[in-house]
């Protein structure tokens, strides 16, 4: 059986971005690599513009009327490596994986646009911030060295050392400034180059893989129990029954044997209920409509079933919908006081709509019990929504909408 491989999620509190690092304890932040990474990130912004200028210089020499269109061509050619560079550079200030970006040579309009903006406008802003953050403390720290040559000896040596001390105190401030600006710039770059829906899609996909893995595991457990314990219990009870035939009826041994057979029967019944909860066989074999009809058949409150589907649905959708039907019908039986209920299901525009309506007293509160919340979670895990309509006095309607395609 192919179980989807899942990459383990990083379970650490190590900051993943410069902005995250800022909010940590100051001593840890200052000792970390983040101020340096931030500095490198901001300085690296200069590289594309230098490269651009270097390539453009010969073009200018060619000069004349051809210069303007030639520069445009150069810019267009350089856009791809620049976009690659920006993607790499982002990792300096933001170590979260970048998902959903195109793999081919053409970076896509988002990244190309971002590279262009960075080339035209952002690099010098980065450079200004670096200059401001570093120049202040640097000048102050260096004042004992720089000042003595000043005319008129305005500042005493003592004063210059005070200035130097102040400069040293300003170094952490500079580190914070750099990390804050780098963090903000990286967040902006991420927002520009990583399409939001791609990230959402990736999250939805990983969630679906997780649900599938659970479903596969449930089937495996069901199969193991069915092929192992259940068969053995049936065989046991059969052997006990056969053994009973050899004993005189109503003898103490026969009575005890009969008791043992009953116990085996009870164990079988309990095991059967357990397995039904894990993964019902009829759902796997015949699909949702048959499985829902069987659940409704077991419901103490008479239930009408109209589930019309023209095809089998993905396994996880079937499992979630089945779970909704089971839980909703159990709630109807336990709480609603209804005399009858109905389960309706159909497909509309690639979504499964499942509705369980009763004629009971209503007043079901999703916040009150865990049952409805658990249901909503289960449906949300496959990308669906659950709505409960249950005014006091009734009736109650539970509706689930589950997308059948991704």
Site for another protein contains 60 (CB under 8 A): no
- Nearest approach in angstroms of CB 104 to another protein is 42
Site for another protein contains 277 (CB under 8 A): no
- Nearest approach in angstroms of CB 339 to another protein is 9
CA–CA dist 405, 383 (Å, integer) = 10
Nearer to another protein, 55 or 278 (CB): 278
What would the two tokens of residue 263 be? 């116990």
Site for another protein contains 270 (CB under 8 A): no
Site for another protein contains 293 (CB under 8 A): yes
Nearer to another protein, 264 or 375 (CB): 264
What would the two tokens of residue 225 be? 């129990």
Tokens 């779970």 appear where?
323
Nearer to another protein, 63 or 277 (CB): 277
Nearer to another protein, 291 or 328 (CB): 291
x/- map, 224-253, another protein, by CB under 8 A: --xx--xxx-xx-xxxxxx-xx--------
Question: How close are the terminal C-alpha atoms of the chain, in Å?
Answer: 23
Sign of CA dihedral 377, 334, 390, 307: positive
How many residues bind to another protein according to rule CB under 8 A?
Answer: 41
Residue 128's CB is within 10 A of a number of other CB atoms, namely: 12
CA–CA dist 377, 383 (Å, integer) = 10
Contact 29, 38 (CB under 8 A): no
Site for another protein contains 356 (CB under 8 A): no
Strands 397-403, 385-389: pairing is: antiparallel
- Binder to another protein among 40, 162, 221, 282 (CB under 8 A)? 282
- Nearest approach in angstroms of CB 224 to another protein is 11
What would the two tokens of residue 224 be? 């193991």
How far apart, in Å, are the Cα atoms of 287 and each of 253, 303, 304, 350? 47, 19, 18, 17
Contact 307, 289 (CB under 8 A): yes
Site for another protein contains 309 (CB under 8 A): no
- Nearest approach in angstroms of CB 10 to another protein is 39
Question: Under the rule (CB under 8 A), what is the footprint of another protein?
Answer: 223, 226-227, 230-232, 234-235, 237-242, 244-245, 261, 264-265, 268-269, 272, 275-276, 280-282, 284-286, 290-291, 293-294, 296-300, 302-303
């Amino acid at each position: 059986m192919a179980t989807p491989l899942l990459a383990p999620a990083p379970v650490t509190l190590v900051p993943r971005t410069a902005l995250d690092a800022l909010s940590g304890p100051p001593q840890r932040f200052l000792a970390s690599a983040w101020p340096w990474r931030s500095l490198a990130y901001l300085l690296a912004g200069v590289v594309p513009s230098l490269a651009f200028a270097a390539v453009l210089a010969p073009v200018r020499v060619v000069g004349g009327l051809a210069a303007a269109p030639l520069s445009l061509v150069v810019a267009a050619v350089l856009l791809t490596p620049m976009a690659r560079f920006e993607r790499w550079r982002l990792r300096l200030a933001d170590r979260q994986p970048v998902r959903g970006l195109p793999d081919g040579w053409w970076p896509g309009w988002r990244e190309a646009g971002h590279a262009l903006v960075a080339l035209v406008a952002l690099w010098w802003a980065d450079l200004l911030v670096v200059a401001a953050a570093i120049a202040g403390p640097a000048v102050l720290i260096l004042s004992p060295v720089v000042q003595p040559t000043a005319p008129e000896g305005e500042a005493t040596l003592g004063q210059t050392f005070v200035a130097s001390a102040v400069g040293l105190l300003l170094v952490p401030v500079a580190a914070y400034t750099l990390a804050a600006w780098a963090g903000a710039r990286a967040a902006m770059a991420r927002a520009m180059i990583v399409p939001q829906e791609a990230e959402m899609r990736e999250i939805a996909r990983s969630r679906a893989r997780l649900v599938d893995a659970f479903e596969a595991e449930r089937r495996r457990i069901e199969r193991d129990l069915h092929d192992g314990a259940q068969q053995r219990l049936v065989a046991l009870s059969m052997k006990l029954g056969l053994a009973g035939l050899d004993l005189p009826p109503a003898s103490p041994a026969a009575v005890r044997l009969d008791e043992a057979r009953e116990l085996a029967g009870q164990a079988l019944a309990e095991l059967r209920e357990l397995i039904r909860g894990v993964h019902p066989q009829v759902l796997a074999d015949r699909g949702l409509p048959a499985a829902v009809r069987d659940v409704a058949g077991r419901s103490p409150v008479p239930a009408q079933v109209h589930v019309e589907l023209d095809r089998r649905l993905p396994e996880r959708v079937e499992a979630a919908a089945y779970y909704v039907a089971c839980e909703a019908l159990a709630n109807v039986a336990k709480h609603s006081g209804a005399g009858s209920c109905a389960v309706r299901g159909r497909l509309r525009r690639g979504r499964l709509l499942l509705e369980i309506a009763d004629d009971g007293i209503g007043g079901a509160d999703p916040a009150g019990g865990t049952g409805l919340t658990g249901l909503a979670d289960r449906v949300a895990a496959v990308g669906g929504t659950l709505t409960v309509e249950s005014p006091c006095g009734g009736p109650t309607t539970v509706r689930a909408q589950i997308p059948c395609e991704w």
